[in-house]
Structure 1
């Protein structure tokens, strides 16, 4: 009996030892699997890490010296991609301007996924590498801070921008947009556009209290053409240290069913007439500015602004057109987008450009046209929701085509 008990005891003990070894083996396998899984996950993260062109350009280094932690107000964006991926191409229309840099007494917002590089006192805002775009923004001071007075800077801004535009040093350069002055209550800027076979170079010159900053948006135009959107946002987000930031609201909802394409209601103005949709109502009427708009649930989704400038010896069509480019018409900031074109419409010379209107309640996108009558230079801004640019374009064409002159 004792022998049997001893045998059973040995059998049970040896079985427990085997189970313990099996459990240890299982634990070891689980740990190995966990390490392998973590390693695989880290590899995936490494693969998805954002890459930047200027990391591999000799002489450039990442530079955080001019970043400041001072974000005034929200600037709405329309992003769906993950923060560890490059921007989608369409996202370049409404980026996340969540970083703030400070240079020559000017506050500048740049997109969140961009990196800042410097070389020889100049800066580059580099966008993440992507198969769908090749974009960067060069920033440089035109002279030393304080070398010229604020009055000199503003007075000579056009001269500086003209010189920089026509002496760019860009190979095979073609100036497709001569410098245009943009003047609002709190800042004065100019812009010009250069192209060669591959790239577009959108130049923005901003007068600061101490200097002139040149922003140059460099874009591979064979891949994408979103510089006009970035230009408009740069103009609306930058502000001198002594001024307040312009609050901006944007809606990315589709108002597709609320946009009436049929311009059937005739509007008579002094020397010309045009048609608008019946759902657009006059909300402002004065000698210098008339405004029509269409609202839905308290939101402005279409707007027409008509400004008239009395003819005199110091004014011509181009000057009148430029006068409301980048202008603050309270409470709206009007920002141009790209090239200004000259076209003949109904045997009359028109100037045209894409524009955006930024306000605290809404942001709209469309175009601006200018023409002359017997007594006035007239500027019309025709805009609609950011989400429905195709319908806005059709409506704008219908309104322009309805223009008649006495």
Structure 2
């Protein structure tokens, strides 16, 4: 099985077109704020949503539209989350209606999403006015995918895209995607916003199973600041344009599809973590030798979520005691007697702990490791065969600055 990273983003899969434009939701006219994505063919559809009890109106509407397991298009605005508004569902429904009219498809075939400031009424007129032209500008290719990815950004510093190529039954298939997210990221079942596409043929039930399984090990293993957004959503559309025999039961083809989806989502969630608000470093924690998968996941997340350790990484301070502290308050059962810890990056690898106790190490070597823009904490628990990886970032002065005046 070969899974190859390729360009093309959300348009890498055959039969998908995208576009992004500035319609007037955001004050800065140089920033795109409305995205449209559409398949030439009907699609099986799957989605996961935030567990926040306060959730955006677009989630209410999208859940209703995906009850039949099918969809064909996605419309999304940035700059306004359409959350906590009395007319939120009405506005989200209007977005779907306008997109459906522009695309000449049924209204319930449209997925709708919004991201941005919470609690401010969404101006619907600019969206309705822009959608006919946006639909006419739909096209495939890297440029179109990138414009769409730009249109869903909020505090992101760059668009986030990825795509993979793989083979099912002798047919070349593709998975592509785009996502956004820099802050308010402590997801539960998904990330801020992620829109994924594939030209593989797969049943809606298995598509949902594959997506949920992948989300648990990728987006759910990302933490920027411990806040769960109200609008978190990840969707996956499968149009079957690759011509493979449809995946209708678990087996080799389903396993290959799941592996390709995991590779795609891992690439995307790493981009989210590295672009955390004010971040200067991608922080990865890999746990091995744990007594169970859930224990490994909890420990890895505990480390990347530690505010004290995130600050230490920003300051390039090899304060490994903060790692042990974060492991120690993890809500799981394990022994600390066999724990070993390494700090690693492109600059090298330094062991700082063995059997739960500190080791002499070179501060200069550790400093060189921590100065890199991608730093990994490797933890060996010495209790079993389970492993997990979590993704986060350092905590810099700019995080407070960005969030101190985000609305104003």
TM-score scaled by length of structure 2: 0.26
| Structure having the larger proportion of residues in helix | 2
Larger Rg: 1
Q: Which one has a larger percent strand, Structure 1 or Structure 2? A: 1
